[in-house]
Structure formats: C-alpha cells, structure tokens
Structure 1
C-alpha cells in the first residue's frame, strides 16, 4: 500500500493519530500537543470511547480511533464463541460510535464496516483483530486519497498570493491542502483562529502548517473582524463535523460568526466535506453541549472567579446563504444543491 500520509505533518501520520497493536490502542493526546508529545494508551475499547469523549483526539481523529477501537474489541473477545464474539462487537460498535453524539451517524458507518469485516474474518478463519486493523488502515488511506481530491478543488479557489484563514482543526484536509498548495507553488500564508476553549487552531492547525513549511500567524477568536477589515485575509475555509443536505454546515463553535464576517467583508468561505445522507435537513443534527466549566479556564489555568458559570456548545450551524461553496471530492457544489452530489 502506498501511504497517502507521506510528507504530511507529524500529527497526521497514521501512527500518531490512533494505532492498534498487541492488544492496545495508542492515541496522540491532542489536548496537550504540541507542548508535550504524549500518547494515551487504551487497553479496552471502552477506554478508546472515553478518549474520544474526552477530546484526546478530535476532528477526524475519532474516525480512525473508532476503527482501531473495534480491532481492540475483537482482541478482547477472541476466546469467546463465534456468536458471543459477534454480540460483543455489536455492543462495542455502539459504544464507540456514540462516544460523541454530533458525529454518531458518521461513526456508525465506520463501526458497521468493522463489524462486517469481523464477520468475514470469522467465516474465513482469520484473526478478527488483525482483519479489522488492516481494514481500518486501508479505509484511512483511501480517505486521505479521497480528501486529496477535495484539496485539489479547494486550492483551485486559493489566490496565487495571499492569506487563508482557518477555523479549528480540519485534520487531513489541512495537511493535504497545504501539500497541494506547495506543489502548485502558491505563495500562501496561513492565519489560524485560536479556537477556544481547546485552542485547536493555535495548537494543532498552526503546528501542521508550520511543520509543512508555511508562514503561520495565530489570532485570537475576537480579532477576525479586525483582520478582515484591514485586508489581512483573502479566503476562509473550514472542515465540517456534519453537512446537512439542505446546506447547513455544522462545525466548531465560532465558524458561524466568521462566516457572517466573510459575508460582510466580501470574503469567500468554502467548507470542505461530504454531504451527510443521514441528515436530510438540519433538524436531525444534535448539537453537543459540553461542560461549561471548561470555558472558565485556559489550558488548565482558571480565568474566571469561582461561582461564575460557563456555556460551551461544541458546534454551531452556518446556514447555506453564508457559504460560498461546499468542496467535495467530486467538485464544488452550491450549498443549495447538495443532493446533486449523490446523483
């Protein structure tokens, strides 16, 4: 297999996202990266699910972690009878896919495929954990290749010389769009919104861009209007945790307000991702509310007085009228015409 993570940043290498080996799953702890490079070691699939819930990995990381978690679950039950193994894996699939509610529909697709791989392995007398691991590795490689196509269409929209603003951490698309921009010799600078309260933009996106040789600037989340007004941003792009077929983009909270500013200042906003068949309209999307206390601190240091309350919706919803285009592996679509992707 030719690995599609070649020449990408450290944290986008498969082994550094989530990796199954010898009865355990290691996951790069993105909560502390790049200040520290540490891995959370999971010895049970429920620990993988908890790591996903606790944001040890995020963006596209949980999708790889879920597959590796299924391989671990197969290892846990390998001495059971065939029927017992399948029942065990069904429960594990539910646990892993529902670790975070907003992405449950996408995660279910991954765990279902892993379960089907286990069924085939049992029928053919193969080791289920290794079969799921190899399947997961092939799936992530194919995903990187598919997102590489997305990157080509996205970079078509980049100016030859200018600054691209990002929001949160778009995982694979970030590394691949930068790789593509470099191949085309585009003179692009990257500006990262810090993305509180986990600072994914400052810690993760900025690290990937810097690792791949780009000029990177971090701005706080309340500096975007200033930067746009003063001509410091030419294009805004983000990934999406979900894209409903009626054109709404669900992404890290803060995306909506940046899209509003783009509309005001005449700056294009391109969201990347595949429209979700499971979300016919935005009403089917559940916005995850996390512990509000987390917004009362910054990287473990409390910033608010005891007794003050915090509000922490993980995502917000950007309506189609604020989206210049949805960039997919088949091309760029109007947010009002996403059903065409499947036709």
Structure 2
C-alpha cells in the first residue's frame, strides 16, 4: 500500500519526470519531458492535472527551457522567457496556479543581470515552489483534521490528492494526517465524469493509503449523503475569486447545492496560490471547455453517435454562500470571504 503519495512531478537535471495520470490506476508510468512543448502537451492532455501540480510542472517547464536556450543577451533572454510563459499559460485557462507559477518565475528574473544567473535563480525558484507546496498541503491537512472526528465519513469529488500536488493533496490531506494520528476517516468518492478522476485517481489513492473508501457514480450523490451518514463534503479548487466563489471540477456546484439542502457542511481546501484576488467573482472565471469526445466515449468506446452535439465544461463555479469554510495553509476562514481572503495576503 502507498503510505507516501507518488510524486507526480519531479525535476531530473536534464528533463522533468512526470507521472502520466491518464493511465491510472491500471498502469503507473512515468514520462520524460525534455522540451517546453512536452510540458504544454502534458498540461493540455491531462497527463498532469491538479492545480498545484500544474503550477509545479509549469515552473519546471520554464526552468527546462532556460537550461536549453542558447540566448546569451539578457534582454532577449528575458523577452523570450515571457513568451514561453505565455505559451504555457495557453494550455489551460481555469486553474490559477498555472498563471501564479509562471508569474512567480518571471518575477525572480528581476534579481538577475546575466543569463547564467537567471538560469540558476529560475531553477532554484521552481524547486522552491515544489518544496513549499508540500509544506502547504500538510498545513491544510492539519487544519482540516481538526474539523473531523474518528469514524467520520467524508464525501469528495474529483481528485485533490497527493498526485495533484507535491505531496498530501488538499482535500485528501486530512486523510493522510488522520492515518498518522491513528484516526479512521472513511470516504465516499464520486466518479467524476467524463474523465473519471474520482474513480481512477481518488478512489485508488485512498485505497492505497488504507482508507475505507467507497466509489459512487455522480448521480448517486444526493442519495448517498442522505442515506450513508456523510459528515461533510470536502473538495479542492482550481481558482477561488476574491469573494470566495470557487471554480472546481464540473459537478462541484451541484454537490454544494445538495449539501446545503441536506444540512451537510461543504468545505473547500486550497492553498493561497489558488486564491485569485484580482478576480472579483466567479462570473469572471473563464471556464475551460474540452473536446466533445470526452463525453461521446467511455474508456475509448463510443456511447453515442459521432456527430452528437456535446456541452463539455471542465469546471463549474460554486457561489461562496454555499461554502461552509475555505481551508488554507493559514487556517480556515468563514463568513465574510471578501474581507478575510484579502486579509490572508496582508
């Protein structure tokens, strides 16, 4: 069993070693990304997914490009680096950690005056982003675990586990902390159509950890919460607006509405890097729409006609009034999200 999560993104001197999450749970395969184009494709194709992991991959992607470029003029180097950052940002529009990581890498270049110095600083910063994320996720887990008791039953949607971050995950972090403390948290995981991250990744990860986990289809959520004694719902986030509106995997909004109707707490677990103070509300968050074939097929088999019209948003936005609390590495906030989220950055 996997008491320590697989590290899904790692720097390996001349390349990036990446867990291909598309193949789980049937196959554990690591890819070697040798170009920034490989990194763009890995993000776009969901080889790497989970907002923090995407951010780490993007940071290492820029570091990889800097190690390979032959540009010697610092101004030209910096200009091209900005273009490469914009290129990576074009891979997926919703998860803010991607943009946060690119911006952070670009900002440290201001400390350099030569290309060689910039290369060293960028790689150091990318490694720091990964290291910090591990500590952040652990802190989220330690704050979250205080909300629950032994034998509580939590329901989660999509995958916000160790493979979606540097380690521990966000929404799944309390399960890792519970194991360390000898507590028994049980879980229900929704399958998360159409890409099945809940079935393929979350259920597998919790099972490897030794958690009592039960898989359900997405349309079983209301009945499960009502009939199985669900204590709370906990999910991750891809972007949190300044007012607390939260973009997460499609289906999260409906889950929050059901939890509200049934009187069950609904928690969002996310690092500060997922909070986008520059976006005032969820209405401003761009929602990625993915290829219709994700819905037209299941495990590679057609389930409808080839020309069937499809609406396939990858995310939805849960209004802040449906969220019981947002758990970050600085603790949980509730109530006036507009003020309290802003205060986190002071």
Q: Is the 8 A contact 1:70 1:93 kept in 2?
A: yes
Larger RCO (CA under 8 A, 6+ residues apart)? 2
My pick for the range that moved more, 219-228 or 70-79, is 70-79
SS of structure 1 residue aligned to 2:125 = helix
Distance 1:307 1:127, change over 3 A: closer
Cα deviation code 1:291-331 (max 9, x no counterpart): 12211111222222333222210111111221111112222
Residue aligning to 2:79: 87
Residue 157 (structure 2) aligned to one of 151, 154, 167: 167
> RMSD of the alignment, in Å?
2.2
1:48 Cα deviation (Å)? 0.7
1:158 is aligned to 2:148 = yes
Q: What is the correspondence of 1:19-30 to structure 2 with a 5 Å cutoff?
A: 19-30=10-21
Kindly indicate whether the alpha-carbon contact (under 8 Å) linking 2:190 and 2:218 is maintained by their aligned counterparts in 1: yes
Alignment check: 8 A CA contact 1:293 1:309 kept: no
Matches of 2:13 and 2:144, distance apart in 1: 39
Q: CA deviation at 1:189?
A: 1.0
Say if 1:90 and 1:158 are closer, same or farther in 2 by CA, change over 3 A.
same
Cα displacement (A) at 1:167: 0.6
Q: Residues of 1 paired with 2:171 and 2:204: CA distance?
A: 11
Change (3 A) 1:156 1:89: same
Residue 123 of structure 1: how far off its partner (Å):
3.8
Match of 2:247 in 1: 250
Q: Could you tell me the TM-score, scaled by structure 1's length? A: 0.89
Structure 2 residue matching 1:270: 3-state secondary structure: strand
**Cα deviation, residue 175, structure 1:** 4.7
After TM superposition, the structure 1 = structure 2 runs for residues 4-15 of structure 1, keeping only pairs within 5 Å, are: 8-10=4-6, 13=7
Q: TM-score, normalised by structure 2?
A: 0.88
Superposition deviation, residue 22 in structure 1: 4.2
Q: 1:110 aligns with which of 101, 112, 115?
A: 101
Q: Does 1:267 align with 2:264?
A: yes
- Partner SS, residue 173 of structure 1: coil
Q: Indicate if the aligned counterparts of 2:62 and 2:84 stay in contact, CA closer than 8 A.
A: yes
Pair 1:313–1:335, CA change in 2 (3 A): farther
* Alignment of structure 1 residues 139-288 onto 2, 5 Å: 139-170=129-160, 171=164, 172-273=169-270, 274=272, 275-288=275-288
Unaligned runs of 5+ in 2: none
The number of residue pairs the alignment matches comes to 331
